[in-house]
Every structure is written in C-alpha cells, then in structure tokens.
C-alpha cells in the first residue's frame, strides 16, 4: 500500500468516525426522549414505546431501499442525503412542541430516523471495506466506540435539558432548543461533507446482485441484529422506569437518566477494548498501553456522568476491568468473543429480573458493557467472505432487521403494562440466547 493510499484510507476512517458519532447521538437522544414524551402526553408504557418503534421501524421500511439507492449514487452522496434528512427532522421538533401533537412528534422522529438509516447503511460497509476482511471487526469496533461516546453523552445532555425541574415546567417545549442545535450542526456538516474528497471503494464486477440472499450467514446475521438492537434498545428504554422502582433504587427520572448514560458508557468502553484486541496491532505492549488509557477514561466517564461521584467512578472502572478480562476468553476471534459477551449479558438480565437494590441497579447498567461488540461483530460475521460489490446489498438486508429496535421495545411496553417492567426483561433474555446460537453456529459460512 502506498503512502497516498494509506492517507486516503485514514481520511475515510476519520470521516466515518464523525458520521458514527452523529447518528449515535441522535439515536440515543431519541431513546431517552421516550420518557419525556410519555410524561407530557400521559401515555401508557405501550404507547410511549412507539417513540422508539417509529424510529426503528424506519429501518425496516428504508434500509434495503437505501442499500440499492446508495449503490447507484455512491457512499458520499448517501451520507449527504442522510445528514440533510436528519437536519429537517430536527427542525420539525420545534413546531411539534408548539402544537403539542404526539403525531407531529412521531413524524419528526420518522424523518430524522430516515436520515440515520441512510447514514448507517452507507457507513458500516464503507468501514468494513476500508482494509482487509480480517481486521474489519476491529475497525467496526473502533467507529462503534466513537459512536458510543455520543450515546453516553446524549442521555446526560437529555438529563440537563429535558429532565430538570426547569424543563418540567416547559413541557414539550423543553426539546426545542436541543433539536434546533442538532439540526444546525448537522446541516453545517452536510455542507462541509460536500467538499470533502473521500477514498473510493473499488467494487468487483457485479455479476449476481441477488446472490447475498443465498448466504445463510448473512440472513441469520440479520436476525442476530434484530435480536441485538431489540434487546439493547428495550433495556435502555426501560432503565429509567426500572430504577424508579422502590426495590431497585427508587431514583428520580433526572438521576436515572444519568444511569442510562452509564449503560451506554459501558458499550463505549467495551467497543474501545474490542477495537484494540480485534485489531492488527502486533505489539502487545502497545495494545496494553491503549487498554490502560481506556481504563483511565472509564473512571473519568463514570465519575463525570454521575455528578462527580467517586464511588460510581470506581465501580464503573472495576466493571471495565472485568469486561476486558472476559474479552480475553474470546482469544481475538470475532465469533467466540460475541458468544462470551452474549452469555454474560444473559446472566446480567437474569440478575436484573431476580435481584433487588444496588445489585439490580449495576446489573442492568452493566449489560451495556457486553452489548458493546455485538453490533460490529454480528455485522462483520454477516458480511464475511462477500466481495465488495455485494456489501451494500448485504448491509441493506442486515440493517433492515434493525427494526428489532421497534418491535421488541413495543412488546416490552405491553408486557410492562400487564406484567411489570421486570418480567418484560424476559424478552431480551431470549434475544441473547439467539445471539449465542449465531456466534457459535449460525455465522459459519456455507
């Protein structure tokens, strides 16, 4: 590889990291917004989950179409289209809040989500193709880690702008300022992206456009994404109400929202570990120096998002160490690491259902650590052994099943209304069982 090619690939990775940050922030901010909308419109848990349902159902409607569309217009134009849709959706929240219309809120979420679908459908295969297939999982874990910085910040910002006493008095209008800021920033980035020269992904001659449907590991991987996103979003959307229960902490919504940031922060730390351990860095000393830096960052993140609570920072650090040690059981193999993490996530969900007090609080928040490598690892396994001309179509199929983030939380909402929030966690437990199957059996290429 020439120096020019290396610089070009580095430019591509920097650019994609920025895009992952943007759609990570938007996705998690909307998930956290569910509790505010439920309060303003006095909705049941089932109806409130349509905030997430509307956002993630967009993947089902548009992902495959976006995959085909991006194949024609190119990754760069697909990203620009996505950014513009995100900006329009963000600006729609201003009149939606003025009219205090739930339907208008859902329409704004749908438009914004349409932009996120464009961004995600373009970004994942682009990152996978920026190098060898052997290190694709490492690259995907890295950009997902940067995505997770945004998903950690978003609930904290929501707690400041949306869940404070001052915001309570504003009602629906509390969301106007943050969404105007999001829209303006994304619009500026879209304009800037137009002038950026990105490395092209050279594809082989497309001789069998529909051949990806013949690969079981692609289709089973798509179902794995359905289960993973459904479980992750369902748990994230449940945390505020779960931690409000007397037996699991009895926290206020403002404080519970900060523990949502802990949940997403765990995913961030785990993805940084994954990007290091699943990369092509050959020097062990260099790897472990990076790991040490991540651990220092873990303490600072846990300390910061819990209002500078040293105890919480130390607990977050301790769980980070355990997360790193358990990652070693995967022996650097994408599928084995996925299986180990799915088993631990299953155990933590079980503890969240059965235990009470601080143990339950930290069990449910720690699930984020073990969700960390699931999306990049499932995606990497799902597109493994495909040529570059098949990447966008496979990405469209896999991203379509992100609709799990719509289906599973809505079903969990109905279960919460009838059985209680702790029993609703049984559904994510089933999801992690399937992910274990995919990691060990379903991901084999045949």
Whether 134 shows a pLDDT value over 80: the answer reads no
Q: Dihedral of CA 319/321/327/328: which sign? A: negative
Residue 208 confidence class, pLDDT cut points 50, 70, 90:
very low
Q: Is 314 helix (H, G, I), strand (E, B) or coil?
A: helix
pLDDT of residue 205: 47
Kindly state the percentage of the chain with pLDDT values over 90.
Answer: 35
Question: Mean pLDDT lowest for which of 62-71, 237-246, 290-299?
Answer: 62-71
415-436 burial by CB neighbour count: b if 16+ within 10 A, else e? bbeeeebbebbebbbebbebbb
The angle subtended at Cα 247 by Cα 243 and Cα 249, nearest 5°, is 40
Q: What tokens were used for 373?
A: 């490598």
DSSP state of 130: S
pLDDT of residue 162: 73
Residue with tokens 């329409």: 107
Mean pLDDT of 263-276: 87
Mean pLDDT of 310-317: 94
Ordered by start, the domain boundaries in the chain are: 3-196+212-442
pLDDT of residue 291: 93
- CB distance 109 to 51 below 8 Å: yes
Question: Is the model more confident about 49 or about 340?
Answer: 340
The count of other CB atoms within 10 Å of the CB of residue 207 is 8
What are the helix and strand counts (H, E) for the chain?
Answer: 19, 0
pLDDT of residue 296: 95
Measured in whole angstroms, how far is the alpha carbon of residue 276 from the centre of its chain? 19
Question: Is the model more confident about 279 or about 111?
Answer: 111
Question: Is the model more confident about 357 or about 303?
Answer: 303
- How far apart CA 427 and CA 234 sit, in angstroms, is 9
- Please enumerate in sequence order all residues whose Cβ is within 8 A of that of 32, keeping only pairs 6 or more positions apart, or say none: 154, 155, 158, 162, 236, 240, 257, 260
- Please enumerate in sequence order all residues whose Cβ is within 8 A of that of 115, keeping only pairs 6 or more positions apart, or say none: 81, 82, 83, 84, 85, 86, 87, 88, 89
Residue 54's nearest CA partner among 428, 415, 423, 413 is 413
The angle subtended at Cα 223 by Cα 220 and Cα 228, nearest 5°, is 125
Q: What does the chain come to in residues?
A: 446
Kindly state the percentage of the chain with pLDDT values over 70.
Answer: 89
Question: Is the model more confident about 123 or about 77?
Answer: 77
Whether 349 shows a pLDDT value over 50: the answer reads yes
Whether 410 shows a pLDDT value over 50: the answer reads yes
pLDDT of residue 211: 64
DSSP state of 210: T
Residue with tokens 């799902």: 382
Question: Is the model more confident about 282 or about 290?
Answer: 290
DSSP state of 45: H
Whether 446 shows a pLDDT value over 90: the answer reads no
pLDDT of residue 207: 46
pLDDT, tens digit, 9 for 90 and up, residues 217-259 = 999 999 999 999 999 999 998 998 899 998 888 898 888 888 9
Residue 5 confidence class, pLDDT cut points 50, 70, 90:
low
- CB distance 21 to 114 below 8 Å: no
Whether 418 shows a pLDDT value over 60: the answer reads yes
Mean pLDDT of 387-414: 83
Q: What tokens were used for 120?
A: 């995600």
- How far apart CA 219 and CA 212 sit, in angstroms, is 8
The count of other CB atoms within 10 Å of the CB of residue 284 is 8
Question: Mean pLDDT lowest for which of 166-170, 200-204, 370-374?
Answer: 200-204
Task: Assign 3-class secondary structure to 135-198.
Answer: HHHHHHHHHHHHHHHHHHHHHHHHHHHCCCHHHHHHHHHHHHHHHHHHHHHHHHHHHHHHCCCC
Mean pLDDT of 111-138: 79
pLDDT of residue 441: 93
Q: Model pTM?
A: 0.77
Side-chain-side CA neighbours of 264 within 13 Å: the count stands at 31
- CB distance 70 to 424 below 8 Å: no
Mean pLDDT of 111-127: 84
Superfamily of domain 3-196+212-442: MFS general substrate transporter like domains (1.20.1250.20)
Residue 149 confidence class, pLDDT cut points 50, 70, 90:
confident
């Amino acid at each position: 590889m020439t120096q020019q090619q290396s610089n070009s690939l580095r430019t591509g990775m920097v650019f994609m990291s920025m895009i992952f940050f943007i759609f990570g922030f938007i996705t998690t901010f909307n998930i956290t917004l569910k509790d505010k909308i439920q309060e303003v419109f006095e909705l049941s848990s089932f109806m409130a989950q349509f905030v997430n349902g509307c956002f993630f159902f967009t993947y089902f409607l548009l992902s495959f179409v976006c995959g085909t569309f991006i194949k024609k217009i190119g990754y760069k134009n697909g990203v620009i289209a996505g950014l513009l849709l995100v900006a329009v959706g963000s600006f729609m929240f201003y009149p939606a809040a003025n009219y205090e219309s739930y339907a208008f809120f859902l329409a704004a979420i749908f438009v914004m989500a349409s932009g996120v679908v464009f961004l995600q459908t373009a970004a994942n295969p682009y990152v996978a193709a920026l190098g060898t297939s052997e290190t694709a999982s490492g690259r995907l874990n890295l950009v997902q880690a940067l995505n997770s910085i945004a998903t950690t910040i978003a609930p904290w910002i929501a707690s400041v702008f949306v869940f404070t006493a001052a915001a309570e008095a504003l009602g629906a209008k509390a969301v106007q300022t943050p969404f105007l800021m999001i829209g303006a920033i994304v619009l500026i980035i879209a304009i800037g992206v137009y002038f950026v020269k990105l490395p092209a992904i050279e594809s082989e001659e497309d001789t069998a456009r529909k051949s990806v449907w013949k690969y079981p590991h692609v289709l089973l991987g798509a179902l794995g994404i359905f289960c993973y996103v459904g479980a992750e979003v369902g748990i994230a959307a449940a945390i505020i109400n779960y931690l409000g229960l007397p037996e699991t902490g009895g926290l206020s919504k403002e404080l519970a929202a900060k523990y949502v940031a802990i949940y997403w922060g765990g995913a961030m730390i785990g993805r940084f570990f994954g990007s290091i351990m699943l990369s092509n860095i050959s020097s062990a000393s260099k790897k472990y120096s990076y790991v040490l830096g991540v651990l220092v960052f873990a303490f600072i993140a846990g300390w910061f998002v819990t209002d500078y609570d040293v105890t919480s920072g130390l607990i977050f650090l301790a769980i980070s160490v355990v997360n790193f040690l358990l990652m070693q059981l995967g022996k650097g193999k994408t599928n084995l690491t996925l299986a180990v993490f799915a088993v631990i996530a299953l155990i933590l969900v079980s503890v969240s259902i059965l235990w009470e007090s601080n143990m339950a609080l930290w069990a449910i928040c720690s699930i984020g650590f073990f969700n960390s490598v699931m999306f990049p690892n499932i995606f990497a396994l799902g597109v493994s052994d495909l040529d570059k001309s098949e990447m966008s179509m496979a990405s469209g199929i896999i991203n379509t099943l992100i609709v799990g983030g719509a289906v599973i939380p809505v079903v969990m909402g109905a279960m919460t209304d009838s059985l209680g929030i702790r029993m609703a966690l049984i559904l994510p437990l089933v999801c992690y069982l399937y992910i274990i199957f995919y990691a060990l059996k379903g991901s084999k290429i045949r």
